[in-house]
Structure 1
């Protein structure tokens, strides 16, 4: 897995339509530069100790989702609280596919910043399990869906960067939590390898910051992040409890 680095932090309308399209592997094109043009860092997965929600404005935040329209636990619940309008876009997307929710597996939904949501963040949903809780998909299936949904995300992000929709603007840095490793029960090391392989193959030198947290029981019986000097100043804000999904 990549080394952990520390970086300093930078600084009632209807939801907008999200970016979503049919996944076609050939549309991804060949990998290009090996250095991210915005950060100057070698492309790949870079671990950081920090709060993903303190990422700079216009950053893309990635998390793994079920296909049932539920952000009811883990970091997804915090996403729902911080990005309620993005949640509506996700839920509507799931509702529109309710007759065949499995069709969402292996796809991504890239939601542009919504009016009133936190820090003008883009939210990316990777559909890696059809269900959640006791009906969650098996780890190998989740990893299979992670690979194809992350590749789909790279395509969608590339489309916005190439001016596919001028109204959406341009997304900034890409940040992910340790997707699949909490409620979906897949060891992060396995998911991390899937993401690294996709970035090496199709990432065009892109850097993805993966946020590393230590979970520990707090005095109130919840969880809190280990304090640190990483990107965004470290620990989570009051009220955030479950750190991984």
Structure 2
């Protein structure tokens, strides 16, 4: 039995009280323009702006697979830009998702969420455009967040 709570709805509008972190997977090539990031950008400009600045300055910062950038967008809402995808296209090297990078980013996220006293909200990270399988991502979330007592809610959009 999973400790993850599943619900229908929009991960950009978590309806619980307290501090919330909306976690999602970004690519390592600086692209922001398809998938869940569009919903984020409709609500707040900061996650995209800070991701793009982080990518532009990558020669002198930690921008790489497995890295984490936490962006405050409202008093009680933060967005976690997690680099868990190599490029944006499926090709000869397979799908873009990198499970080990998602795991590393979740590992970096855990102490930050704990400091904030936050719950975590997300779509099925790494499983949309990144091409990942939820059966591989879910155990990473369980291991890195849920087992440590962090409340995680995964949002499935209303359509099937």
TM-score between both structures, scaled by the size of structure 2: 0.82
Does 1:54 find its partner at 2:13? Answer: yes
Q: How many residues align?
A: 158
DSSP 3-state at the match of 1:175: strand
Structure 1 residues not aligned, in runs of 5+: 3-43, 162-171, 214-224, 228-245
| Structure with the largest fraction of strand | 2
Aligned position for 2:99: 143
The partner residue of 2:41 within 77, 80, 84 is: 80
Change in Cα spacing, 1:137 to 1:102, as seen in structure 2 (3 Å) is farther
Change in Cα spacing, 1:157 to 1:199, as seen in structure 2 (3 Å) is closer
Structure 2 residues not aligned, in runs of 5+: none
TM-score between both structures, scaled by the size of structure 1: 0.56
Give the conservation status (yes or no) of the 8 Å contact 2:146–2:152.
Answer: no
Change in Cα spacing, 1:136 to 1:198, as seen in structure 2 (3 Å) is farther
Give the conservation status (yes or no) of the 8 Å contact 1:69–1:92.
Answer: no
Please tell me the root mean square deviation across aligned C-alpha atoms, in Å. Answer: 2.9
Rg (Cα) greater in structure = 1
